[in-house]
Amino acid sequence: MAQLGVLTSEFPRTSLSDTLDAVSSHGIPTVQFQLGSAVPAIPIETSLVRGLEVLGEHVDNDLCQKIAEQLADRKITMSAVDGTFNMIHPDKDRRAAGLGYLRKVIESCAILGTSVVTLCTGSMADIMWDRVPENDSDEAWARLVASMTEAAQAAEEHGVDLAFEPEVNNVVNSAEKARRIIDDVGSSHIKVLMDPANIFQTGQLPLMDEKLDGAFRLVANDIALAHAKDIDHDGEAGHLAAGRGRLDYPHYLALLQKSGYQGAVILHQLKGLTDEEIDGAFAFVRASAPAGYFE
């Protein structure tokens, strides 16, 4: 059976223990760990934008052991750790630094207790979630293949899967491109983070079932993690908590089950919700799933 979990950055607190206490208070059994949650002196907005270029210097065995111990104390598992950085950044030194920090996270997975590191395929802009026309260029694709190939080599060495998230503003902005990058890199350790709220280009929301079916047809066998958030429009969207938009959750979760996926379904976009609303989002996703799919 699958599990419902949460991204730790949905509970921004002043310390790691406070963040994990908040997760535990909702009875959430598993997390996708955002490293900014362990270094609260760095604003979460900064760590999400700059990614490992900010956090990389803090990733060491002592920090990872502390994270693992605090999770274990609360009987929370780590389904994945966030390794997000701009994989096609225009500055080659920034790309190299990000890859170096990513390797540190990959090497730390044994201590952290996870075998999945999540990625963003990035943008040719300074900010990895900014959409620019150059993202569709041959140069952008070549950069991504090079970065992914280097990252995959490290993942293979340490038995870790890298799960990238297709998003409308990134170089991989569709299920078709997700299939292409998996095939071009040619590593069994390159996987997909399935988040259907991020794949609807402008004008495609009326084609919801067609888009969902097509995405699973292309990558159903390569899903290493799944997200649960919502959309009320297409294009740059996916900024709502589950149950607050138009995503066809019964269809999405039925496709997940049919694919054989038994991992974590991670809720996010919960910041700003009350405790009752957060619990309501979890209840909505559970109620939308096929009977018996979630623990």
pLDDT tens, per residue, the chain with 295 residues = 999 999 999 998 889 999 999 999 999 999 999 998 997 766 555 555 555 666 677 889 999 999 999 999 999 999 999 999 999 999 999 999 999 999 999 999 999 999 999 999 999 998 888 889 999 999 999 999 999 999 999 999 999 999 999 999 999 999 999 999 999 999 999 999 999 999 998 899 999 999 999 999 999 999 999 999 999 987 777 789 999 999 999 999 999 999 999 999 999 999 989 999 999 999 999 999 999 999 8
Q: What is the pTM of this model?
A: 0.95
Say if CB 246 and CB 231 are below 8 A apart: yes
- 265 in a structural domain: yes
Tokens at 2, concatenated? 């699958």
- 209 in a structural domain: yes
Say if CB 258 and CB 221 are below 8 A apart: no
- 141 in a structural domain: yes
Sequence-separated contacts (24+) of 35-40 with Cβ below 8 Å: 35/59, 35/81, 35/82, 35/105, 36/9, 37/8, 37/9, 37/11, 37/12, 37/13, 38/63, 38/66, 38/67, 39/63, 40/12, 40/13, 40/14, 40/15, 40/16
CA 162 to chain centre: 10
- 294 in a structural domain: no
Please state the domain count of the chain. Answer: 1
- 104 in a structural domain: yes
CATH number for the domain spanning 151: value is 3.20.20.150
- Residue 159's Cβ-count burial label (10 Å; 0-12, 13-18, 19+) is exposed
- 295 in a structural domain: no
Domain that holds residue 110: 3-288
- 116 in a structural domain: yes
Q: Cα(211)–Cα(234) distance, rounded to whole angstroms?
A: 12
